[in-house]
A = this chain, B = another copy of it.
Amino acid sequence: MSAVTTEGILRGSRLSVTASRRRILDLFLEKDIALSHQDIEAVTSGSFDRVTVYRTLQTFLEKGLIHTVPSSDNVVRYALCKDACAEGHHHDDHVHFVCDSCGATTCIDEVSIPPIRLPGGYRVRQIGMVVNGTCGRCG
């Protein structure tokens, strides 16, 4: 298993390698937290068109490179998928953490979501879990 690099991920995705894709993917690898469209815009400010960022995120989603993170505000955030994710079918059953202090959203891959029993009639397909609190850096 090779180190996870921007180049490697892009090659593997069978997508054309372009400056914007490289840059955005770089950001995810470097920051290692979930990023919103706005976050990305703020950092790359003007290097690419707004539309390009939207489309890049959309493409990454479809190719299974990133997944969306549930949130209570109205902001969609995306995070890098780890190995187990494939196109269309996400292996996304890890806990997401949102720090009250620094606002960062991180995937906690070490902790998987506990099973749950629902009242009769409900059929469970997927479970999402978001924990709010303070992270190691801020606590």
Contact = CB atoms under 8 A, between A and B. Distances in A.
Given A70-B71, A70-B72, A73-B76, A129 B127 contact: yes
A6 interface: no
How many copies of the shown chain assemble into the complex? 2
User: For A116, A131, A139, which residue has the most chain B Cβ atoms within 10 angstroms?
Assistant: A131
A111 interface: yes
A74 to B, nearest CB: 5
A12 interface: no
Interface residues of A, number: 39
12 contacts: A70-B72, A72-B76, A97-B122, A116-B131, A122-B134, A122-B136, A124-B131, A125-B132, A125-B134, A126-B132, A127-B132, A130-B130
